[in-house]
Structure 1
Amino acid sequence: MISTKKIGMMEKVPPHVFFLVSALFRYLGPAFAVLLFAHVSVLGVAWLRIASAAVVFAAWRRPWRLFMSTSWAIRRILIALGVVLGLMNACFYLAIARIPLSTVGAIEFLGPITLAALGARTPRNISALLLAAAGGWLLTDARFSGSPLGFGFAFANCLLFILYIVLGHRIAEDGGAAGIDRLGAAMLIALLAVSPLGLTDALPAFPQPLLLLAGIGVGVCSSVIPYVCDQLAMARLPRATYALLLSLLPASATIIGIVVLHQLPKPIEIVGILFVVVAVILHKEADVQPKKHAKSV
């Protein structure tokens, strides 16, 4: 349960802060996952990520209660989101096992920038959109080489990421607290969706406590912290604004790639990062009516 007092405290935190925390952890976890690939197969790591996140949400939120009591319209959204989460994470890991993390982050950005384009209504925001697109292109073009299969998985992840944003905003409409419960239910469905693909590959990690703990750490960093922060940000930001903020993903992926994986950027990538940062600063949110948040969950 999230109390009214806690909801009030969270509402005092600017939504952009939640987004920045999400952007940081979104690629920090996968960067550690890359280090696990030497011991556990790619789909096994993806399963460990989703399974550990599902266990955390189950213990914290008990989301099955919401799933059983909600309408079929909401259940369909949760089932769709769960399947999207499962497949998105699998495609993401299959991509970063083949091409650099910053490249995957740049391709992932192409989906959100499309959503931002649909929401751009002022010359200032259109300019920010074009600048962000240019930055994303520089980041993508600078590393557009490597495994064709890796790029196939990266673009599949991009399409699934668009669906995640759209469905994520749908479950966040009643406020961050309600969205977190719905996210927890979707994560349990994601576990069911990905188990046929990755459970067998994850079994070698079970007798090895350090690998199992590493997998749990990846799940918390990749699927609990960022997805919860996404809900808290989506509940208070227009979808176009949130989509443009996601332009920071290529930059955060590049920075994490430097720090954790020692994948050094080229000068053109640094220029691309600067373009994206300036675009986010230039963007101005549209005036929207504040959403009515649930008092308790």
Structure 2
Amino acid sequence: MHRPTATPWLPALALLGSITALCIGTSFAKRLFPLVGAEGTSALRVGFSALVLLALWRPWRWPLSRRDAGHVIRYGLTLGVMNLLFYMALRTIPFGIAVAIEFSGPLAVAMLASRRAVDAVWLALAVAGLVMLLPLAADAALDRTGVLLALGAAVCWALYILFGKRAGHLHAGHAVSLGLVAASVVVVPVGVAHAGMALLDPRVLLAGLGVAVVSSALPMSLEMMALKRLPSETFGIMVSLEPAVASLLALIVLGERLAPSQWLAIGFIVAASVGSTVTARPSRPPGADALG
């Protein structure tokens, strides 16, 4: 058991680097959509991430009971579906908005675990943010299919957290590397069926490897370092900034401009996540950041 470090700047910078790398990698991944589609891009990311982390952690070194294998498989399959739905959502809605909608999954897990009055405030903020983003009006700017896919990814993220907790006693590298293998079983066949031989283009393969390293292997490694050394409250607050970071980097990398009301909605969701973290009970573990 690692104690939070007395000088948390290094792990805090590592976590910020993890969030930034994840968002930059996903922003650049969107540029592969015209070549291999969202499904093909997701297959490259998850497939290469599994290979990289298998080589890094060599999970066959650790024993795995049948019960734990079941937990890891469910965790990995959920992770795969979540990534596939999230990338498909990115085809038609901005990256920052997709992340904000997806964030409703872990927020729901955190709030359902508590019965305190203060959580009603964070719930109200999160619901207000979602209502502002969802295409409820007939002339809504956001694509409904994209929003539904992002909501599906949010449900998967919630399940990913629940299944991940059941495998939480395993070494992080052990669980994540095997989980990504299970995720590949879902994502790679869908990507191959959609993109076919285009996935074998050397330029596409090289770009896919870069996306996998920048948006998966690197942030996961940095996050694990930060998680061991930061207080859970600090970790949760910084992770809560991800929708805002994603929106800013999507503006810089992809030129995706959001309306003031959409920035406000994202702010509500970030505030709800930060508030839920700050007022959480000390025993509450921080939610792990996913590949989405």
TMscore range, shorter length: 0.7 to 0.9
Task: State the distance in 2 between where 1:250 and 1:138 align.
Answer: 15
Which of the numbers 34, 40, 44 marks the counterpart of 1:38?
34
Match of 1:104 in 2: 98
Q: Which residue of structure 2 lines up, in the alignment, with residue 84 of structure 1?
A: 78
For 1:130, give the aligned amino acid.
A
Counterpart Cα distance in 1 of 2:78 and 2:196: 20
For residues 26 and 130 of structure 1, do their structure 2 counterparts lie closer, same or farther at Cα, with a shift above 3 Å needed?
Answer: farther
1:287 aligns with 2:265: no
Counterpart Cα distance in 2 of 1:23 and 1:122: 30
Verify the 8 A CA contact 1:41 1:202 in the aligned structure 2.
Answer: no
Q: 1:213 to 1:147 in 2, by over 3 A?
A: same
CA contact (8 A) 2:57 2:174 kept: yes
Tell me how far apart the structure 1 counterparts of residues 166 and 233 of structure 2 sit (CA, whole Å).
14
Q: What is the rounded CA distance, in whole Å, between the counterparts of 2:33 and 2:251 in structure 1?
A: 18
- The match for 1:48 is 44
Q: Is residue 2:163 matched to residue 1:167?
A: yes
How far the C-alpha of 1:263 sits from its partner, in A, is 0.9
Deviations 1:119-138 (A, max 9, x none): 34555554344334434544
Deviation at 1:244, TM superposition (A): 7.4
Mapped pair 1:272 → 2:270:
no
* Correspondence for 1:95 among 82, 89, 97: 89
Residue aligning to 2:20:
24
1:152 & 1:98 partners in 2: Cα distance?
11
- The alpha-carbon deviation at position 79 of structure 1 amounts to 0.8
Distance 1:231 1:254, change over 3 A: same
Aligned counterparts of 1:212 and 1:10: Cα–Cα separation in 2: 39
Q: Secondary structure at the match of 2:92?
A: coil
Counterpart contact for 2:135–2:143, Cα < 8 Å? no
Using the alignment, how far apart are the partners of 1:76 and 1:99 within structure 2? 34
Instruction: State the match for 2:251 in structure 1.
Output: 258
2:182 corresponds to 1:206? no
Rate the CA distance shift 1:145–1:265 in 2: closer, same or farther, 3 A: closer
1:54/1:191 contact within 8 Å kept: yes
Letter in structure 2 aligned against 1:183: V
Q: Cα gap change, 1:154/1:278 in structure 2, threshold over 3 Å: closer, same or farther?
A: closer
- The answer to whether residue 116 in structure 2 is matched with residue 131 in structure 1 is no
Unaligned runs of at least 5 residues, structure 2: 287-292
Question: What is the match of residue 294 of structure 1?
Answer: none
State the number of aligned residues. Answer: 280
Deviations 1:76-109 (A, max 9, x none): 0111112112221111111111222223112202
Pick aligned residue for 1:115 from 109, 119, 125: 109
Describe the shift of the 1:154–1:272 C-alpha distance in structure 2 as closer, same or farther (beyond 3 A). Answer: closer
CA change 1:239–1:213 in 2 (3 A) is same
- Mapped contact 1:248–1:276 kept (Cα < 8 A): no
Name the SS for the 1:37 alignment partner: helix
Distance 2:119 2:112 in 1: 11
Could you state the TM-score of these two structures normalised by the residue count of structure 1? 0.77
8 Å contact from structure 1 (residues 112, 244) kept in 2: no
Ranges in structure 1 where 5+ consecutive residues have no aligned partner:
292-297
Distance 2:225 2:182 in 1: 21
Q: Percent of aligned positions with the same letter in both sequences?
A: 30
Q: TM-score, structure 2 length as denominator?
A: 0.78
